[in-house]
Structure formats: C-alpha cells, structure tokens
Amino acid sequence: MDIILQQLVNGLSLGSVYGLIAIGYTMVYGIIGMINFAHGDVYMVSAYVTAIAIALLSFFGIESFPVVILGTLIFTIFVTGVYGWVIERVAYRPLRGSSRLSILISAIGMSLILQNYVQISQGAKQQGVPTLLSGAIRFDVGDGFVQLTYMKLFILCASFIGMGVLTYIIQKTKLGRMCRATQQDPKMASILGIDTDKIISTVFVIGATMAALAGVLVTLDYGGFDFYVGFIIGIKAFTAAVLGGIGSLPGAMLGGIILGLSEALFAGLISSDYKDVFSFSLLVIILIFRPSGLLGKPEVEKV
C-alpha cells in the first residue's frame, strides 16, 4: 500500500508538470489549429535559463530560497516568453496562409535550430544546478511510510497556482475573451476589431511562460538537464494534451495529471525501464480510439 501511495504522490507531482507544458500545446492548437513542435525545446531552453539565473543570483551573494526562486521565475519566464514570441514571428506568422505541411516543417526546423543552438552555445554535456530546497514530510503507512519532499510540495503548489491564474485570465479577463473569440472565429474576431495577430503572439508567449514555470520546477527538483531534454518531456506533454482533449485547457490539466499518475504507477509496480514505452503506447491508443480526447470535441472543418 505504501508503494502505491508513494507512486501516487510522485505521479501527481509529475502530472502537474506535464499539465503545465501541455497547456502550451493545447492553447496554440486551439487558436491556429496546429501543433507547436518546438514547444518541448522551449521547455529545454527554460532549464538552461534557470541555471543561468541561479548562477547570477549566487554570483551577487543572494542565497535566500524565496528570493532565489522568485528572481529565477521572473527572469526565466521573461526570457522564455521572448523565445515563444520569436518562434511565432519567425516560424509561424510568415506561413500562416500556407499549407499545414509547410507550417509543420517550419516548426520541426525551429525545434532543431533550438536544440543545436543550445548544444553549440552551452555544450553537449549534461548540466546541473544545486539543491535549493531539501527535507521532506513523512507519513507512516502500515509497516512503511510515504514521503513528500518539500520540493515536490512546492511543485504541486506552484503548478496549481499557475494553472489557476491562467484559467482566471482566460475565463474572466478581456484578454481571455479576445483569445476565445479568436479561437472560435478568427475572421469575425478581426472584423470586430480584435488584433488577431497580436492575440496569436500572446498565446505563444503564454504557452512559453507555462513551459518556463515547468522548466524551473523540474530543474530545481531533478537538478540535471541537457540540450535533448525537451524532446521526451515534450512528447509526453503532447500525449497529455491529446489525452485530455487537444484545444481544451481543462483537458490539458486533466491529461497531465492522468498521464503522470499512470506513468508513476507503471514505473513503481511494473518496470521503470519501460515507462517511456508505456507513455508513447498510451498516445497511440488514444489517437486510435479517441482522437478528440476526454474533454475535447470532434473537430469540425471550418468553412
């Protein structure tokens, strides 16, 4: 029982991170109908930016965890948001009226550019950051115990706060209404005076900021990363988005949690060596039997 509970705790933490990254996929798809295949590499960039931010703060003698985490979040979100904006302007906007295949190739090209750019500028070796928050809470369960580290608790709190803030923005603010209007009918939104180009750029930036938040949290928890780290976690986050319903914001969150819990239980009870195989197999099964996802709606071709 304690093993199952421990894996549920681990899966909830992992799933919240998948949900944050999946939000970027689902928001971009919802507004332009295309997958941003460079999104995983935006997450990868945020991991390197996190390390740079921590190094800069350490250089100036700042070691207080609240100050370090706040400064790192602000710096990483800003820099990664700029990357998201540039990706939209360079890889998507010039091809917006082109075929889907052209945009897909452009997105994959941008992904390769980011990977090689980071590999050349930062090196191919695995990088790391020091542990900033140690300690854990232990709960006795029968003859064993369940452990919740302070870092995982922080990840859960930060993830759900981030998701809550984004949900409020999309549902309750003027920006959110413009995003939803652009998603439903870009031409009509433009006729009504909404700058759809600006809204689409904003959506890319929002998706990048969610990836940045996930990048900071995962980097602080695991400590290590490399230039290829965005590929695997990007595919898993895409799986979460498809599972929940691509284009659905609540679906991305739900899909991330379900995937994280499923993967953690599979790794803990069956084999951790094949957890990636399990995740990708789940993606294939979803695409075959329910391509619209749990909360998604079947796509209707716009006239």
The whole-angstrom separation of Cα 90 and Cα 68 is: 33
Q: What is the mean pLDDT of the chain?
A: 88
- Counting residues of the chain whose pLDDT is more than 90, the rounded percentage is 42
Confidence of residue 215 (pLDDT cuts 50, 70, 90): very high
First-residue to last-residue Cα distance in the chain? 54
Locus of tokens 């931010």 = 53
Which range (85-94, 123-132, 191-200) has the least confidence?
123-132
14: nearest Cα among 115, 159, 122: 159
- pLDDT category, 213, cuts 50, 70, 90? very high
Q: Under CATH, which architecture does the 2-289 domain have? A: Orthogonal Bundle (1.10)
DSSP codes, 266-286: HHHHT-GGGHHHHHHHHHHHH
Residue 17: predicted pLDDT: 92
| pLDDT for 303 beyond 90 | no
| Residue-level pLDDT at 184 | 87
Average of pLDDT values for 115-125?
A: 90
Strongest mean pLDDT among 207-211, 263-267, 274-278: 207-211
State percent of the chain over pLDDT 70: 97
Q: Is the pLDDT at 143 greater than 80, yes or no?
A: no
pLDDT at 248: 83
- Asked whether residue 300 carries a pLDDT value surpassing 60, the answer given is no
Helices (H), 123-228: 150-172, 174-184, 186-191, 196-222
Q: Mean per-residue pLDDT for 278-284?
A: 82
In the predicted structure, residue 302 carries a pLDDT above the cut 70: no
Among the residue ranges 150-154, 157-161, 239-243, 268-272, the one predicted with the least confidence is: 268-272
pTM of the model: 0.90
Which pLDDT score is estimated for 249? 86
Which residues are bridge partners to 127 per DSSP? 225
Between 259 and 142, residue with greater pLDDT: 259
Q: How many helices (H) and strands (E) does the chain have?
A: 11, 4
Return the closest-CA partner of residue 25 out of 35, 14, 11.
Answer: 35
Question: 290 or 303: which carries more pLDDT confidence?
Answer: 290
Strands 127-128 and 224-225: antiparallel
Residue with tokens 């997105």, as numbered in its chain: 107
pLDDT per residue as tens digits for the range 13-72: 999 999 999 998 998 888 888 888 899 999 999 999 999 999 999 998 888 889 999 999
Whether 144 has a pLDDT exceeding 80, the answer reads: no
